[in-house]
Amino acid sequence: MNVGVAHSEVNPNTRVMNSRGMWLTYALGVGMLHIVLLSIPFFSVPVAWTLTNVIHNLGMYVFLHAVKGTPFETPDQGKARLLTHWEQLDYGVQFTSSRKFFTICPIILYFLTSFYTKYDPTHFILNTTSLLTVLIPKLPQLHGVRLFGINKY
């Protein structure tokens, strides 16, 4: 029995991305970011698309792959404090629907960005680098791996 804990989930971080309306909210947030960037007068359309892609991927990297732990008190003896949100997602089970969604979203945004920037080499390099920084940590082979001891504790 968990006294003082208001939820029945062992770790609410594991299921938050499967909650009702989360994917729609996520897509609307990315769309709103793009609209805000398009409304800035001195940004061209290619710059707005590249900024949307880079800001999205930076945010995704920070919130899913860099920040560890959970904002909730969990009865798991501190296991969650050593894992990133991506590693906690769906209790670490690979290839679930939410993991697939959060892997495909940056790829779709990358394709859209590449198309609307007309494959300009500068934008293409920035967008490809940005995409790789969020796709590589999602690989199942890198689950729990800390390169060069970064983010070990």
pLDDT in tens, 77-104: 667 777 888 888 887 888 888 899 999 9
Q: What is the mean pLDDT of the chain?
A: 87
pLDDT for position 59: 96
Residue with tokens 């996520």: 26
- Of the candidates 20, 98, 35, 21, which has an alpha carbon nearest to the alpha carbon of residue 64? 98
Domain membership flag for residue 20 = yes
Domain membership flag for residue 2 = no
Domain membership flag for residue 122 = yes
Residues paired with 84 in a beta bridge: 68
| pLDDT tens column, 38-68 | 999 999 999 999 999 999 999 999 999 888 8
Domain that holds residue 88: 15-144
Domain membership flag for residue 65 = yes
Structure confidence at residue 3 as a pLDDT band (50, 70, 90): low
Percent helix, strand and coil across the chain, each to the nearest 5: 65, 0, 35
Handedness of CA 125, 126, 132, 133 (dihedral sign): positive
Domain membership flag for residue 3 = no
pLDDT for position 29: 97
CB distance 89 to 29 below 8 Å: no
CB distance 117 to 46 below 8 Å: yes
pLDDT for position 47: 97
CB distance 34 to 102 below 8 Å: no
- Please state the domain count of the chain: 1
Q: In one letter, which amino acid is 125? A: I
Domain membership flag for residue 4 = no
Structure confidence at residue 129 as a pLDDT band (50, 70, 90): very high
pTM of this structure:
0.87
pLDDT for position 58: 97
